[in-house]
Amino acid sequence: MNIRYLFDQFQEIFYTLEKNKLRSILTGLTVSWGIFMLILLLGSGYGLENGVHSAFEEDAVNSLWINPGRTSFQYKGLKQGRYIRFNQLDVTGLSRNIEEKEFISGRFYLGSNTTVRWKEKTGKFQVMGAQPEYARIENIKIIKGRSLNDLDEKQIRKVAILGIEVQKELFLHQYAIGQYIHIKGVPFQVVGIYDDPGDKWTLDRIFIPMSAVQTVFHRTDRVHNIAMTIHAKDKEKAVGVEQDVRELIAKQHHFSLKDKRALFTHNTLINYTKFMNLFANIRIFIWIIGIGSIVAGIVSISNIMVITVKERTREIGIRKALGETPGSVIRMILIESILITLGFGYFGLVGGVGLLEIMGNMITGIAYFKDPQINMGVAFGSLMVLVISGALAGIFPARHAAHIRPADALRDE
């Protein structure tokens, strides 16, 4: 088959499409709409998933937060209404006895409106005592200097790391690392500045070593609550670890495991797993809807090819009478089917990707929706599947056309 023959065949196909312009456009739009909806639905699904991932970036997805409560009934002679108060022994006990423990830290809130001064500049911020591993639990990102370390904790060093909002308010554009700030009149050296991409509400905090806040300000080993991350990959394992934690603390503080008000826990991994399972089901649903739309377009192409063969029966008969082979007839019908599928399919793909880009630029700051996008490999893979399906849709009409007998075709009205 020479290039001239192929050019003539393409020219003939375009002439046929232009002759039946409305029909060709309506058929093509069915194909475009199918892949457009698939791209749009997949991109929106990923936008929702990205939004949820962003929300969970606030803390490690395998984090477990433990807060003391108040007993709601008597237990072994101890009265109802007792406040459960954590101390450093609780942190140590969990660290030693929970095998699935990854990182752990107690937390002590010095106050949300603690006065902090640097030279002549003062402000009120939340000051929190924490242990070195807390940065891994909270997903804190040190952008200047360093984080708190084990020596800071052991040697009760008066050091602090500041959220970027604290640094902006106290130091403006001046270099903060190495400077001394006064927390309730006590000097602390700034050793680091942190950012928290997943939680902008924590950027006005100041973290100091737990040992320093307990020794300098409170003079006890009191801990307000405990945060930890666990080695668990599924909901069942996470629930089991949470139950082990409850049992250990219940034994230490003498309350019943049935007393749900004595201890409050927040297991991030359980919620994260629920969301991920939900999005897996959503993706399956999206693929079903999208593939259904594409199949509708393929059926439309198959039908239009049947109509095309019917309309061109006499023409095909004449071609065969003049010596055209069945193979060339099949090729002509298939090329027409593929061109419609490829052209309008690409148009739908570009439209879907373009709309996702517009949505990504316009929709910002919305909770649980971020960066709607589509994997281009998936997008072009879908287009290729569409083209192959279009070719398959044209095979049966093409084979029917190839088997038309010239004498029968010439008698067709």
407 shares a domain with 320: yes
Query: Is 26 part of any domain?
Result: yes
Our count of domains for the chain comes to 2
Query: Is 267 part of any domain?
Result: no
51 shares a domain with 114: no
195 shares a domain with 118: yes
207 shares a domain with 134: yes
Query: Is 63 part of any domain?
Result: no
Residues 291 and 278: their CA atoms lie apart, in Å, by 20
Query: Is 253 part of any domain?
Result: no
215 shares a domain with 112: yes
Residues 6 or more apart whose CB falls under 8 angstroms from that of 303 comprise: none
Phi, psi of 123, deg, nearest 5: -160, 165
199 shares a domain with 123: yes
304 shares a domain with 398: yes
164 shares a domain with 282: no
Higher-confidence residue: 24 or 380?
380
210 shares a domain with 140: yes
The whole-number average pLDDT for the span 290-301 is: 72
Q: Is 280 exposed, middle or buried (0-12, 13-18, 19+ CB in 10 A)?
A: exposed
Q: Retrieve residue 393's tokens.
A: 């849709």
> For position 149, what pLDDT does the model report?
95
Higher-confidence residue: 340 or 242?
242
> Over 60: is that where the pLDDT of 313 sits?
yes
Phi, psi of 203, deg, nearest 5: -80, 0
404 shares a domain with 290: yes
> For position 251, what pLDDT does the model report?
92
Higher-confidence residue: 412 or 284?
284
Domain end, chosen from 223, 246, 269, is at 223
> For position 253, what pLDDT does the model report?
93
Q: What's the pTM?
A: 0.66
292 shares a domain with 355: yes
Domain end, chosen from 223, 239, 262, is at 223
Higher-confidence residue: 181 or 285?
181
* In 57-149, alpha helices (H): 88-97, 134-138
> For position 172, what pLDDT does the model report?
84
> For position 284, what pLDDT does the model report?
81
Nearest CA among 150, 147, 112 for reference residue 128: 112
185: left (phi over 0), alpha (psi -120 to 50) or beta: left
Q: Decide: 305 and 333 in contact? Cβ < 8 Å.
A: yes
Q: Could you give the percent of the chain with pLDDT greater than 70?
A: 77
Residue 317 is part of which domain span? 3-56+277-411
288 shares a domain with 370: yes
DSSP letter for 80, please: T
Query: Is 83 part of any domain?
Result: no
Residues 273 and 322: their CA atoms lie apart, in Å, by 68
Task: Give the burial string for 312-345 (b: 16+ CB within 10 Å, else e).
Answer: bbeebbebbeeeeeeeebbbbbbbbbbbbbbebb
Query: Is 94 part of any domain?
Result: no
Q: Where are any strands of DSSP class E within 7-132? A: 63-68, 86-87, 101-118, 121-130
Q: What is the pLDDT of residues 17-48, one digit of tens each?
A: 666 677 667 777 777 777 788 788 888 777 77
Q: What is the pLDDT of residues 105-164, one digit of tens each?
A: 999 998 778 999 998 899 999 999 999 999 888 888 899 999 999 999 999 999 999 999
Query: Is 69 part of any domain?
Result: no
Residues 205 and 166: their CA atoms lie apart, in Å, by 7
> Over 70: is that where the pLDDT of 408 sits?
no
Query: Is 353 part of any domain?
Result: yes
Residues 30 and 22: their CA atoms lie apart, in Å, by 12
Residues 364 and 259: their CA atoms lie apart, in Å, by 43
